[in-house]
Amino acid sequence: MALDVARVRSAFPALSLGAAHFDGPGGSQVPAVVAAAVADAMCAGLANRGSVTAAERRADSVVVAARQAVADLLGADPGGVVFGRSMTQLTYDLARAMAKQWGPRDEVVVTRLDHDANIRPWVDAARTTGTTVRWAEFDHDSAELPLRAVTDVLTPRTRLVAVTGASNLLGTRPEIGAIAAAAHEVGALVFVDGVHLTPHAAVAVTALGADFFACSPYKFFGPHLGVVVADPELLGTVRPDKLLPSSEAVPDRFELGTLPYELLAGTTATVDFIAGLEPGDGERRDRVVASMASVEEHEERLFARLLDGLGDLAGVTLHGVPERRTPTVLFSVRGRAAREVSELLANGGVNAPAGSFYALEAARAMGLGDAGAVRAGLAPYTDDDDVDRLLAGVAAACP
């Protein structure tokens, strides 16, 4: 079934303000039902989790429901769902904890394609233990990360491979399954940054081969927080720093302080919203998969129009042509700084920001420097009129 875009758009109050949003890779707009869930939780009467008072039980049920919702979204075990302030914070926490088991004879692999949140935590953790960091390079023309780029730097000493599920800068979707299989052959764990992948594809963490998978609900209509999922038994082998009275249980031992219950309630509402993008019955996981199939079809159609339109404009350079990608394009306009193009578009009500978007290694490797280029990303609420407005705005900016 084709996605009912008009129905989807009607759920987002912010769209009534008139902007065409191509800034989803940095954070999506939020449906009214998600905002209402956050407000309802804050007004319902909450306390620290427990079983004595109604408020304690309510807080506990919010957490349990959110873990199950994320598990349904990602095809994961709810007992391995960890919540935190952000994906960056969670990755740093895990890197520091896992590095306690590393030493000078060990190695970790990071890729030049990744967002810095899946590079720097591992580089910093490796530095503190004398662990060697090995870099997997991507092809600067195509923006592809070839499997061999990773396998060539794997050794029996590799303890972990950190790789993106989809580049937030270029949209590239590496062969995660093949990368994970190769890493597992040498006994390494695989940490996948799924922040940019999750909004655009049905994710099945186990099938993907990821030992750890991270994402951020605010990139797919939800509140600002981060999530990491893993097998509970694997999490049980990791000993994070924690307060003495804090729970030793998994996943609680990784969640420092009191959880943001209202944001967890919003996360559950977000997964329910995604599951309802396509009308249907059945288990929530099945409905999520069906909805994301419709989202992919919708975004692929629009993205083809966008790429063709940009490619027809003299003076526009498209950076990277990965064969498998999210609906995300990075481009420059001859004779104009990236920020200038973004500002011109914004003046016309088209939100397409400029920068390196924390994928600093990738932007520098491609010769774009820290200023990067203009990025346009589609979302389920993007429609043909939005694409027309973006193309017209870029055409007006061309020399």
CA distance 122 to 365: 19
Q: What is the pLDDT of residue 92?
A: 98
Q: Which of 345, 354, 353, 355 is nearest to 392 (CA)?
A: 345
Do 117 and 192 contact (CB within 8 A), yes or no? no
The pair of structure tokens assigned to 192 is 């996948």
Position 85, amino acid: R
Q: What is the pLDDT of residue 322?
A: 97
Taking residues 383-392, report their average pLDDT.
98
Higher pLDDT, 324 or 1: 324
Q: What is the pLDDT of residue 372?
A: 98
**Cα dist. 111→133, 143, 144, 149, 179 in Å?**
10, 12, 11, 9, 12
How many other C-beta atoms can be found within 10 angstroms of the C-beta atom of residue 154? 20
Write out the residue limits of the CATH 3.40.640.10 domain(s) in the chain. Answer: 87-215
Write out the residue limits of the CATH 3.90.1150.10 domain(s) in the chain. Answer: 5-30+285-397
CB-side exposure of 193: number of CA atoms within 13 Å? Answer: 33
Do 358 and 168 contact (CB within 8 A), yes or no? yes
Q: What is the pLDDT of residues 233-265, one digit of tens each?
A: 999 999 999 999 999 999 999 999 999 999 999
Q: Which residues pair with 108 in a beta bridge?
A: 133, 160
Q: What is the pLDDT of residue 323?
A: 96
pTM more than 0.75: yes
Mean of the per-residue pLDDT values of the chain: 98
5-30+285-397 maps to which CATH number?
3.90.1150.10
Q: What is the pLDDT of residue 306?
A: 98
Q: What is the pLDDT of residues 130-157, one digit of tens each?
A: 999 999 999 999 999 999 999 999 999 9
87-215 maps to which CATH number?
3.40.640.10
Q: Which of 386, 374, 288, 383 is nearest to 26 (CA)?
A: 374
Q: What is the pLDDT of residue 80?
A: 98
